[in-house]
Amino acid sequence: MLFLFLLSSFVFKGNADTIGLNVSAGPKQNYTFPKDFLFGVSTAALQIEGAWDADGKGESIWDHLVHVQNPKFAKDGSTPDVAADSYHNYKRDAEMVHELGVNIYRFSISWPRIMPKGLKNDINQKGLEYYRNLLMELEKYNVTAMVVMYHWDLPQALQEMGGWTNENIVDYFADYAKVLYDNYADKVKYWVTFNEPMQVCLEGYGNTYRAPKLNQTGFADYLCTHNLLKAHAKAYHIYNTTYRPTYGGQVAISLDSNWAEPKTESASDREAAERYLQFHLGWYTHPIYSAEGNYPAEMIRIIDEKSRQQNFSQSRLPKFTPEEIEYIKGTGDFFGLNHYTTYYLTMADKQVGAVPSHANDCGIVRFQNPKWPSKSSSNWLRVVPVGFRRLLKWVSNEYNNVSILVTENGFADFSGVHDAERVSYYGHYLNALLHSMYEDKTNVKGYCAWSLMDNWEWDDGLTSRFGLFLVDFKSPNKTRTPKDSAKMYAKVIKSRSLPDNFDPTDFSAFSSSNVLLPSVLTVVTLLSLT
Ligand SMILES: *[C@@H]1O[C@H](CO)[C@@H](O)[C@H](O)[C@H]1NC(C)=O
Ligand SMILES: *[C@@H]1O[C@H](CO)[C@@H](O)[C@H](O)[C@H]1NC(C)=O
Ligand SMILES: *[C@@H]1O[C@H](CO)[C@@H](O)[C@H](O)[C@H]1NC(C)=O
Ligand SMILES: *[C@@H]1O[C@H](CO)[C@@H](O)[C@H](O)[C@H]1NC(C)=O
Ligand SMILES: *[C@@H]1O[C@H](CO)[C@@H](O)[C@H](O)[C@H]1NC(C)=O
Ligand SMILES: *[C@@H]1O[C@H](CO)[C@@H](O)[C@H](O)[C@H]1NC(C)=O
Ligand SMILES: *[C@@H]1O[C@H](CO)[C@@H](O)[C@H](O)[C@H]1NC(C)=O
């Protein structure tokens, strides 16, 4: 998960009162989680497994990034070479999942651990064995597996053939999906083709925040998304046609989205917020979940028009054929949503981003109110539970009350087992979820916390901790210890309700946040991400 940004401070001239959003999602109620509501917990292969070259595993684009491209990529200089060593500790991981009492463990499979060069002719039996062992361990505890096929770790050999910009990857990914179905369909109820494809394409191909750091925004990000959506649809259809009749599982995709709150009630600010959602979330979800399919109409119109003005011979946003639109439409059995925080949106009053770029195509500016509760190791992670509620409602309205599984949500700190901020964050965001279900009548079926344990958090290395279990990265066994939040989450699951002492007006856990000059809103903006 997660987003990186440039920290650019400038004076925001608006009146803070006009953007004084009440961050609480709603008053205390006695709402309870339905009996069939699914609770889960999520991880990702690269962030926890380690064993980066063990037993025949191939190099991934992240291994390549930290070993070859830029060994200083992570701010603490760490690599995911060992991480939480889940390759050797999977039995303890399954035990932790069991201790939480969750129904679902969402983990990802490393493509290069299964197919070292990404292709079907070379399959690594040791890799297959590792995930089968993990699945058997989960089965022992009656935990349902949700498997993510792609959480960003492409085999480097495929990157060298163009990665997601090479159209052949649609077939390579389909081959990989078939290997997974053939080996694990008997043990996996939920399949997620891609986790946060926007991080893959916008940040990895359009920018430099994720591997492979191509930095070709306005082109490679659109091309990457185009092929990725086709690969998703192909993997979906293969399951639907060949495996579903026997195994009856579900296939979907997990999308990351911030909530976009209009800076004011003006038509222009509301349009900016809507454009943000369509150019980020809708880019991926409109083709799959809307009734008409294809990219959002406004996105097509704007990029086609800009491309014309920029004298390109064709739009920088590739076109789907009518057959492809039909092929992609409807290929999600549920809507996987990852959510962490909220931004304000307004229209840019001057050119934003390089020309051309995704940011320039959007033409909007996003920022956060520094008065919003924070105190996170991730300074973009401000606590705005009402934004979660509004995002769930937006998704429901936009996609005909689609059934939603929240596949990631959580809070990062600098470490420690007494994690009052994370406990408070989960209370507030689960309160938002309950209000969403009971008052906004959204169709939310489940919730997976991010993350089961502390991990290698991409560019933040080992410094930013999202875990319910603390990992002692210095210990030889990467000892795991439950944090207060793990105990709190286990109690919520058991009681099907928020803790008795939860107070939706209490944000004091975040009170000593990195407060900025009171009259100057220091705007955290990721120009390339707006
Ligand atoms: C919740 O509270 C309302 C009114 O405060 C009450 O009518 C309802 O029965 C309560 N529900 C439960 C499950 O306790
Ligand atoms: C798993 O489910 C089976 C059948 O319902 C039950 O007998 C067993 O005790 C359960 N095991 C655990 C660890 O919960
Ligand atoms: C990425 O490309 C932009 C131009 O679009 C350039 O200004 C920037 O320096 C590049 N970043 C890196 C890290 O190469
Ligand atoms: C596109 O071409 C036209 C005609 O040659 C020229 O006037 C215009 O400045 C060009 N636009 C850009 C963005 O280069
Ligand atoms: C999945 O398969 C069923 C049964 O063949 C079919 O009715 C349905 O249209 C398929 N779904 C998609 C999205 O193609
Ligand atoms: C959405 O679906 C759920 C579950 O079927 C239902 O309870 C709810 O009323 C629906 N919401 C709307 C707005 O139709
Ligand atoms: C690490 O794990 C091994 C194997 O489970 C065990 O024998 C050893 O005692 C553990 N070491 C520590 C320091 O916990």
Which residues have a Cβ under 8 Å from the Cβ of 429 and sit 6 or more positions away? 25, 385, 388, 409
Q: C-alpha angle with apex 432: 430 to 437, nearest 5 degrees?
A: 95
**At how many degrees (to 10) do helices 125-140 and 86-100 cross?**
20
Q: Kindly report the pTM of this predicted structure.
A: 0.93
Is the CB–ligand 3 distance for residue 354 below 6 Å? yes
Residue 530 within any structural domain of the chain: no
Q: Write the CATH number for 54.
A: 3.20.20.80
Q: How far is CA 510 from the centre of its chain?
A: 23
CB 469 within 8 A of CB 96: yes
Give the single-character DSSP code of 321.
Answer: P
Mean pLDDT value of segment 246-260: 98
Residue 1 within any structural domain of the chain: no
For 470-515, the three-class secondary structure string (H helix, E strand, C coil) is EECCCCCCCCEEECHHHHHHHHHHHHCCCCCCCCCCCCHHHCCCCC
Residue range 399-433, pLDDT digits in tens: 999 999 999 999 999 999 999 999 999 999 999 99
Give the single-character DSSP code of 318.
Answer: P
Residue 113 within any structural domain of the chain: yes
Which residues have a Cβ under 8 Å from the Cβ of 444 and sit 6 or more positions away? 37, 392, 403, 404, 405, 406, 433, 436, 437
Residue 263 within any structural domain of the chain: yes
Choose which residue among 96, 139, 142, 493 to substitute to test ligand 2 binding: the one with the highest number of ligand atoms within 8 A of its C-beta.
142
Give the single-character DSSP code of 9.
Answer: -
Residue range 277-310, pLDDT digits in tens: 999 999 999 999 999 999 999 999 999 999 999 9
The pLDDT, as a whole number, for residue 169 is 98
* 355 half-sphere exposure, CB direction, 13 A CA radius: 10
Residue 65 within any structural domain of the chain: yes
Q: Is the dihedral of CA 241, 242, 244, 249 positive or negative?
A: negative
CB 404 within 8 A of CB 392: yes
Give the single-character DSSP code of 465.
Answer: B
Is the CB–ligand 3 distance for residue 208 below 6 Å? yes
Residue 451 within any structural domain of the chain: yes
Active site residues per annotation:
196, 408
Ligand located closest to 33 CA: 1
CB 288 within 8 A of CB 329: yes
The pLDDT, as a whole number, for residue 512 is 61
Is the CB–ligand 7 distance for residue 477 below 6 Å? yes
Q: Number of folded domains in the chain?
A: 1
Residue 528 within any structural domain of the chain: no
Other Cβ atoms less than 10 A from the Cβ of 182: the count is 12
Residue 14 scores a pLDDT above 50: no
Alpha-carbon distance of 488 to 509, in angstroms, equals 15
pLDDT band at 234 (very low <50, low <70, confident <90, very high): very high
Closest CA to 193 of 274, 83, 109, 120: 109
Q: Which residue would you say has higher pLDDT here, 17 or 510?
A: 510
Residue 198 within any structural domain of the chain: yes
Alpha-carbon distance of 309 to 140, in angstroms, equals 60
**Domain extent for 190:** 6-522
Amino acid at 347: M
Read off the tokens for 178: 């078939």
Q: pLDDT averaged over the chain?
A: 93
Read off the tokens for 490: 């286990």
The pLDDT, as a whole number, for residue 379 is 86
> Of ligand 2's atoms, which has the minimum distance to the CA of residue 141?
13
Is the CB–ligand 3 distance for residue 528 below 6 Å? no
User: Cβ < 6 Å from ligand 6: which residues?
Assistant: 401, 441, 443
